[in-house]
Amino acid sequence: MSQYDVVIIGGGPGGYNAAIRAGQLGLSVACVEKRETLGGTCLNVGCMPSKALLHASELYEAAVGKEFETLGIEVKPKLNLVQMMKQKADSVAQLTKGIEFLFKKNKVDWVKGAGRIAGPGKVEVTGADGQVQTLEAKNIVIATGSEPTPLPGVEIDQKRIVDSTGALSLPEVPKKLIVVGAGIIGLELGSVWRRLGAEVTVVEFLDRITPGMDVETAKTFQRSLTKQGVVFKLGAKVTGAATSKSGVKLTVEPVAGGEAETLEADYVLVAIGRRPYTAGLGLDSVGITPDKRGFIETDHFRTSAPGVWAIGDAIHGPMLAHKAEEDAVACIEIIAGKYGHVDYNLVPSVVYTAPEVAWVGKTEEQLKEAGVAYKVGKFPFTANSRAKINHETDGFAKVLADARTDEILGVHIVGPQAGEMIGEYCVAMAFKAASEDVARTCHPHPTRSEAGRQAAMGVEGWTMQA
């Protein structure tokens, strides 16, 4: 029986970062992962491969559309989907190998197999060959992540009806693709296939896209996607699906009542969210009962069982890789006797479409509901020099600041490189910056980041470039 200070179940962004931090702090640590590669959903079938396809599809569309022609680049591109998928796989392989290197560097043991808790201080690991080994741990960290939420009445066969994993590896460009769910994952993957030539229809149960996003930002985002050819059916529920060798017939009804209609497509992507992957973990052996959605209740990452901790998608909070990483570091530092903390109000969200959408802090709707008096500064990318030169003028930057103290309460950006720009505001808000602090900080010209500065100027009404 191997003995460790910490045994982590799961090798995704939460698990592998927890393992590395534990190694850095001198703790003996093992990370249990049942995949053949480390990195979890994010590296293998999530964040990273989707970004590889988003990048490739954007370049393809620029070449095949009017953008290259406008720039004076004359080409006749041909899509090689096999090569596009290969470069995606090659990039992912390099990243997963990188984590293996970091494990060795930080003296982390990777125990291959499916882990389950077998009582206090014990983790059983079943290898691919069926062999079982038991690890003894002073601390057990559950970092098992999440899985796609199934849609009742619609069977995901990964052939014609796929989840996010299947949508990353379609064997052909669909003539017609239906995306069920207008959240981040559905819109990102839908935009990939739209750029490669598919007709994309998004069916969403709610009467808006991207729930949780600032409403004005979401409306601007939807207009941009519509302009690109994405068709939205909002306030609609899927009630059935019939597959054939050549496609899918999807039955859709208005949520408010009315006639059902049948939509036909080559493929259907079900992307209605994710749920914690906590089943079969042996939680009952230490007296832990997840809630009805599968989340594990914690208090500063401590579960109800002594010596058992949980982080990332297995606990409440945004289901984001970078949130899991923050959880991981804080949890391990608490285990090591240090002070660990995560400010969940400062966890940014990003949609990696074109344009990108990024936000951090409160939305206008949340501030109104809380009765907080606030001021708004907004700046359009149509007036940003770099965005105009690059023909990327959709969207705006918006800063929300406390009306009395001027403290920045939320920032919402829809536009080019929004995901890169939001980091500045994460840092500013971590230091309780006022909008004036950003407004009076010199930004390089010409950059898209100036839109964020001009929006901060707008809080006090002195935007200079629009």
Length of the chain: 466
**Which of 212, 264, 204, 210 has its CA nearest to residue 238?**
204
**Residue 117, strand partner residues:** 123
Distance CA 9, CA 15 (A): 7
Angle (nearest 5°) at CA 13 between 123 and 55: 145
Contact between 447 and 381 (Cβ < 8 Å): no
Please tell me which residue in 300, 341, 391, 445 is annotated as part of the active site: 445
Q: Which helix (H) or strand (E) holds 19?
A: helix 13-24
Which residue, 331, 325, 294, 292, is CA-closest to 310? 331
d(CA 56, CA 446): 26
User: Which DSSP state fits 296?
Assistant: P
DSSP codes joined into one string, 229-240: T-EEEESEEEEE
Which residue, 427, 428, 374, 379, is CA-closest to 401?
374
Read off the tokens for 332. 């391990």
66-70 CB contacts, 8 Å cutoff, 24+ apart? 67/391, 70/391
Q: Which two tokens stand for residue 235?
A: 């306030």
Report the alpha-carbon distance of residue 6 to residue 137 in Å, rounded.
Answer: 6
Helix (H, G, I), strand (E, B) or coil at 98: helix
Nearest to 102 by CA among 221, 215, 13, 213: 13
**Tokens, residue 150:** 């199934």
- Give the number of other CB atoms < 10 A from CB of residue 34: 17
H or E segment at 136?
A: strand 132-142
To the query of whether residue 443 is one of the catalytic residues in this protein, the response is no
Instruction: Provide the β-strand partners of residue 137.
Output: 4
- State the Rg of the chain over Cα: 23
Q: Which residues are catalytic?
A: 445
